[in-house]
Amino acid sequence: MKGIFTGFVLTTLLVFCGLFGNVYAQENTGRNSQLTVPWEEFKKLLNLDEDQIVLPLETFQKLLAQTGVKVAPPHTVKEGNVVLTRAEFKKLVDNMKPPSDPAAQPPFNYLITKAIYSGKMQNDNSVFVGTFTIHVLKKDIYLKVPLLPQSVALEDITVDGKQALVVIENGYHNVVLSQAGEYEVSVSFSQKSSLEKGPHKVDLAILETPITLLNLEIPLKNIDVEIPQAQQILASSRGNTTNVSAVIASGRAISVRWRKQVAVTEKIPPKLYSEVYHLISIDDDALKINSDINYNILHSEVDAVKIAIPEGVNVLQVSGEGVGEWQEVEQQGQRVIMIPFTYGKKGAVKVYVTTETPLSEGGLSNIFSGIQVLETVRETGFIGIELNTSAEVIVPESEGLEKIAVQKLPVPLLNKSAKPLIMGFKYLKHPYSLVLDVKKHEKVAVPVATINSANAVTLFTEDGKVVHRLVYQIRNSAKQFLEIQLPEKADVWSVFVSNQPVESSINGEGKLLVPLIRSRSEDNRLHDFPVEVIYALAQNRFSSMGSLESGLPAVDLMISQLIWSVYLPNDYSYIYFESTLEKEEIIRGLNVFSGAQRNYNEEAMRSVFESKKMDPDESRLDKLKNAYGGKDYGSNFRNVPLAEDQIATQLDAELEFGGRLEGFTSQEVPQSVISGGAVGTGVLPVQIKVPTGGQVYRFARTVIQTGDPLTFSVVYAQLWVSSFIKWLIFVLIILILFLFRKKLTSHWQWLKEKLNDLVRWYKKNESTITKYSQSLMTTFVLIGLVMVLWPFSTFFTILFLFLFWVSATYQILQHRRRKAQQKPKPKIKVKEERAKK
């Protein structure tokens, strides 16, 4: 009884807790209510130190199933229990497998791992038996497993030798299986075929399986069998029958073809036909010819071919499938290229030859006679010419060639060229020649980099400090440096390329050299990257009244579009702006009485961008307007139309200006050379704080060349001076009116007399004017004048259009009045008349 209890406890521990190897006790903190017993105490409890282990027979069988051994270890049976030695028991424990997870789900419901199609051909049909090995992984479910297409005529189907259930669904015959396990499904079906009538073939539509085998018995002898889908074919003859065994590649069809074996005759010499496609690429210094030789080899295989090369032609490469190492030899005073094959070739064969011919001095009289394919019955070919340079190509003469339209050249030749072909020729035999005159012209340099857009922000302080921040969005394919012509005594504060600090330098001409990176390319389109430069200048401080001017540095790249924002001190009135750029509408002309100002508030602008994603658009727009002193934050340019996203980009640049200066921290860079004698080589400036505020005005320009000046100037005055000037002008106007009051009175009397004359003339002709103005014909005359004057004068067109509207309205009202007057009066009843009497 003690042995049974011991075996039961031990087995429970091993089977349900998954103990492997040396059994030991371990604490599992992930479970609750678990008892932890030291190993020594556990051994004493189960008497594991004994040489024999006693287990119930049922427990022993469970252990054997868990370990998977087929031969039971040596043991004895005593009183219904199994007695094992301690060593044999340890072997069983070491071989135990972890219990399967009952909750694990199979990755597939079923798998068809193997299909064998065994068939026998008859006179009018073929009988096949398909044997499928199916593994059902899903438990407790009915599965419909497709086997053959619905078009196949079934004779019988069994599962493990028993009749099966079959349904037709989704175009397939499906067998129904209900339990997990391995099945062998056998399907008998027929397929149409004929041994006597052609075509001599059998086509089977099959299911795609990892392993597919075919066994076919054909009651014919002396036949050659072909199966395109087979990776291995074995055919054997026995009497009048041919047995075919094949290993089929994964697919959905098997096609078996056969033909009678042809008696071996004397080997016929091969015949070679060729068609050659020549692509002549004209470069700066040579003609590069890519020749595709298309052979058609009949009757027998060949081991090598030969081509003849004209003098002065260099062979660069010979390639093709199965082409070995080529050699150049001289035969009968002719240069011959021997092209061996690594195996015998027959049928369609392609060989690719690349040659080169240097251009003559001056590029004139370059002769192309092409390669000649030797030992062929006939050679024909086509020639296409492409131009890889800016030179001009002329064909002064040709011999043995027919000029054809480029569109009539073979498609493979057209596809060989990345550029459009400029000429096309055709030849039927050798010899032929083509003379090319290549006239070189001076090349026009095209930009390898450009500035897609530029955003500039400039801050003027009252004490004469000027800080510029320039951000260029550059697309670059090969340019090494961006050259910026900075003013004298300019202090460079930072240089960033693609948001990373870079090492900059000054060349001998005083230009700042900013190293550029190559633009990232995607779908044959270069993406731009930002280049940021911040520098400072010292100018004269603002006075009570005066003018100032400033400009942006010239760069050695074309700028597609530039927007420039200028911050000016608040305590001044800016009377007149002059600039080489387009001025926004609010600063066009004199600004004496209008008082147009756009005061910028940096703190208000920060709140706009911080709440950009939270506030609705109306609230954000109101805040944005407040950030610019209640004025319109956008800019209207008469000749430079700007999209909304471009204005938004400039607003971002204005906001980033102050934060960019403040955000500088000390960080190591390779070695930054700063102009104007600034110090701090290799270290960025530390926490430069320049408050951004004042009145902001904008300028814009498109298509800026390298030498175009980018400047502006402004006449300014302090606010009290501006107010004084306004009052002074007002007083002067009053004084002038007072001094010239007599002259003004006489002019007023003259004007009054003229008006009286006009009134008298109107009264005199009032009836005539009224007649014609109320005439219906006047309305048509006015609309006719509108149509005639439309192309010539906008003013008179609008004037006569207004008069037409007045006349048409009058005519409509008059028509309604006449119609109302002509309406008959209602009849009065007799009784009512008598009552009145």
pLDDT tier, 278 (very low <50, low <70, confident <90, very high otherwise)? very high
Percent of the chain with pLDDT over 90: 18
- pLDDT of the residue at 198: 74
- pLDDT of the residue at 660: 61
Rounded Cα distance between 397 and 384, Å, is 16
pLDDT greater than 90 at residue 530: yes
pLDDT single digits (tens) 548-589: 889 999 999 999 999 998 988 888 888 889 999 998 888 887
- pLDDT of the residue at 510: 84
**50 or 61, which is more confident?**
61
- pLDDT of the residue at 523: 73
pLDDT single digits (tens) 646-699: 777 787 777 777 666 555 433 333 333 333 333 444 444 433 445 567 788 889
pLDDT tier, 54 (very low <50, low <70, confident <90, very high otherwise)? confident
The overall longest dimension of the chain from CA atoms, in Å, is 152
- pLDDT of the residue at 166: 92
Q: Which of 358, 439, 456 is nearest to 394 (CA)?
A: 439
pLDDT single digits (tens) 581-598: 998 888 887 776 555 667
pTM of the model: 0.47
Min mean pLDDT across 361-370, 471-480, 589-598 is at 589-598
Cβ atoms within 10 Å, residue 638? 10
Q: What is the mean pLDDT of residues 137-146?
A: 87
pLDDT single digits (tens) 423-465: 899 999 888 888 888 887 776 667 788 999 999 999 998 888 8
Q: What is the mean pLDDT of residues 800-818?
A: 87
Backbone angles phi, psi at 426, to 5 degrees: -135, 140
- pLDDT of the residue at 33: 43
Amino acid code (one letter) for 531: V
- Topology of domain 271-439 in CATH is Immunoglobulin-like (2.60.40)
First and final CA of the chain: distance in angstroms?
A: 143
Distances (CA, A) of 157 to 133, 183, 340, 367, 587: 13, 13, 57, 76, 94
- pLDDT of the residue at 683: 41
Return the structure tokens found at 322: 């199965």
- pLDDT of the residue at 614: 45
CATH class of 110-260: mainly beta
pLDDT tier, 831 (very low <50, low <70, confident <90, very high otherwise)? low
pLDDT greater than 70 at residue 535: yes
- pLDDT of the residue at 667: 39
Q: What is the mean pLDDT of residues 20-27?
A: 38
- pLDDT of the residue at 31: 41
- pLDDT of the residue at 13: 44
Using the structure block, give the residue that is written with the tokens 């002019």.
Answer: 747
Q: Residue 309: CB partners within 8 Å, gap ≥ 6?
A: 315, 328, 335, 336, 337, 355, 371
Q: Which of 66, 63, 141 is nearest to 100 (CA)?
A: 66
Distances (CA, A) of 161 to 74, 184, 206, 211, 456: 39, 8, 22, 22, 87
Percent of the chain with pLDDT over 70: 80
Q: What is the mean pLDDT of residues 717-735?
A: 78
Helix 2-17 and helix 39-46, axial crossing angle in degrees, nearest 10: 140
- pLDDT of the residue at 380: 92
Q: What is the mean pLDDT of residues 202-226?
A: 89
**54 or 711, which is more confident?**
711
pLDDT single digits (tens) 171-180: 899 999 988 8
Burial status of residue 33 (CB atoms within 10 A of its CB: 0-12, 13-18, 19 or more) = exposed
Extended beta strands in 688-819, E state: 693-704, 711-718
Q: Which of 416, 723, 409, 699 is nearest to 550 (CA)?
A: 699
Rounded Cα distance between 217 and 243, Å, is 5
Reduced to 3 states, what is the DSSP secondary structure of residue 774?
Answer: coil
Is 672 in contact with 681 (CB distance < 8 Å)? yes
Q: What is the mean pLDDT of residues 12-17?
A: 42
Backbone angles phi, psi at 243, to 5 degrees: -100, 130
Mean pLDDT of the chain: 79
pLDDT tier, 371 (very low <50, low <70, confident <90, very high otherwise)? confident
**658 or 831, which is more confident?**
658
pLDDT greater than 80 at residue 207: yes
**51 or 414, which is more confident?**
414
User: Taking the mean position of all CA atoms in its chain, how far away is CA 168?
Assistant: 45
- pLDDT of the residue at 833: 57
Most confident of 393-402, 705-714, 767-776: 705-714
Helix 644-662 and helix 602-610, axial crossing angle in degrees, nearest 10: 110
Min mean pLDDT across 352-361, 403-412, 526-535, 817-826 is at 817-826
Is 386 in contact with 421 (CB distance < 8 Å)? yes
